[in-house]
Amino acid sequence: MNKEAKRAIYILIFGNFLICLGISLVIPVQPYIKKMYGYSTTEMGIMTSLYSLAQFIASPIVGRVSDIIGRKSVIVSGLILYFVSEVIFAMSNDLWLFDLSRIIGGLSAAMFIPTSMAMAADLTDNRHRARVIGWISAAFSGGLILGPGLGGLIAQISYKAPFWAAGLLGLLSTIFTQLLLQDQAGKRPTNSAVVNWRQLLTPLLIILFVMIFVSSFGLQGFESIYSIYVNQVFHFDMGTIALVLTLNGIFSLFFQIVIFDWLTQKLGELNLIATCFLLGSLCTVWITQAKQNIEVIIATLVVFVAFDLLRPAITTLLTKMSHANQGLVNGLNMSLTSVGNIIGPIMSGMLMDFNYHIPYIVVAILLFISFLITLLVAAVFKKQLT
C-alpha cells in the first residue's frame, strides 16, 4: 500500500474505534438514567434497541449510496451524525430525546462502519485485505470493550460527561477526516443506481450472508445471558465474570491484530471460518457439561475468540467475492449483523426461562450446522474460492 492508502486506513481504524466506543458508553450510565428519570426497564430496553434497529434499516441503503456518490462524503456525514447523537444524549432530559439520540447514533454507525469496510476493500489487494480488516475489526472490538470502562470512569464527574467527551472526539475526528481522507484515486463511483440483484446475490454470497447472521446471532445469544448463566449455574461472582470478560478482550484483540492475517494465509478464510464454527460449537457444549470453573473459563475464552475471528474472516471473504458494489455488500453485512444482535438476546432470554442450558444447546447446534455448511461450500465452490 502507498502512503496515502495507509493514512486512510489509520483514519478508518480510529473512526471505527470511536463509533463503537459511542455504542458502549451508554452501558454503565443506564442505571443512573433509569433511576434519575424513573424509566421502566422496558423503556430502557427500547432505547437501547433503537440503535440496532436504525442501523439495520439504514445500512444497506447507505452502503449503496456510497457506491454511487463515493465513500468519503458518507464517512464524514456519519461522523457528523455521531457528534450530533452524543451531544443530544448529553443534553437530554426527556425519554424521546434519549431515543432520538440512539436512532441518530444507529444511523451514524450505518453510515460509517460498512462504508469504511468498503473503502478498506477499495484500498487493499487480496494479499493485504485480511490484515487490514483484522485491524478494523480489532478497533471495532476495542471500542466495544473499552467503552463501558471509560464511560464508568468519566461518569464519576457527571453521568453526562462521557457523552460530551465522545461528542468532542467526534467533532475533532470529523474535521481531521474531512481534511486528510481522500477517496482512492482511480476508484470512480458507479453511475448506475440500479442493482442487478441476480448478479450480486450469487449462491456463495447468500451463504456468506447467512453465516454473518448466524455468527452475530450466536454471539449475542451466547453473550447476552453469559453473566446470568455462569452466576446461576457455576456461582461466578462479579469479580470472576469481569476477569473472564477482560481476558476475552485481551485475547480477542491479540488474535485480531497479530494472529488473524497469519491464520488466513495458513488456512484460508473458509477453513478458518469452519474451524471457528466447530470450536465455538464444541466449547459451547463443553460449558453446559463442565464440572469445574476453570473448564468454563477456558471454554468461554475459546468461544469468544472464535466469534471474534469469524466476523473478519467472513467479511474478508465477502469483499473478495464481490468486486463491485462493495458499499452495498458491506451494508447488507452490517444489516444482517444488526438483526442477529436483536434476535439473539431475545431468543436466549426466552429459552432460559425454561432451562438454563437450552439457549447454549441451541447456539451449539446452529454453529455445528454452520460448520457442516462451510465444509459443503468449500467443496462446491472450491474453484471460485481459489
- Residue whose C-alpha is closest to residue 115's, from 314, 327, 335: 327
For the chain, give the number of residues. 386
Homologous superfamily of domain range 199-385: MFS general substrate transporter like domains (1.20.1250.20)
CA 282 to CA 289: how far, in whole Å?
Answer: 11
CA 273 to CA 367: how far, in whole Å?
Answer: 11
Handedness of CA 97, 100, 106, 112 (dihedral sign): negative
273: Cα within 13 Å, side-chain hemisphere: 29
Residue 186 has a pLDDT of 42
- Residue whose C-alpha is closest to residue 337's, from 142, 130, 114: 114
- Ramachandran region of residue 39, left (φ > 0), alpha (ψ -120 to 50) or beta? beta
For residue 256, give the DSSP letter: I
* Three cell numbers, residue 221: 445469544
How many angstroms from the chain centroid is the CA of residue 29?
21
- Side chain identity at residue 220, one-letter code: Q
Domain ranges of the chain: 3-180, 199-385
CA 270 to CA 381: how far, in whole Å?
Answer: 10
3-180 against 199-385: fold identical: yes
Q: Is 176 exposed, middle or buried (0-12, 13-18, 19+ CB in 10 A)?
A: middle
The answer to whether 186 touches 366, Cβ cutoff 8 Å, is: no
φ and ψ at 268, to 5 degrees? 85, 150
Please state which architecture CATH assigns to domain 3-180: Up-down Bundle (1.20)
Q: What is the pLDDT along the chain (386 residues), one digit of tens a residue?
A: 677 788 888 888 888 888 777 767 766 676 677 778 888 767 876 777 788 788 888 887 887 788 788 888 899 999 999 999 999 998 988 889 989 998 998 899 888 888 888 888 788 777 777 778 778 877 877 777 777 667 777 877 888 888 888 888 889 889 988 888 876 544 544 544 555 555 566 777 778 778 878 877 777 778 777 777 888 888 888 678 778 877 887 888 888 888 888 888 888 888 898 999 999 999 999 999 998 999 999 999 999 889 888 888 887 777 776 655 666 777 777 777 777 767 777 777 778 778 888 889 998 998 898 898 888 887 776 655 55
pTM: 0.72
* Three cell numbers, residue 188: 470512480
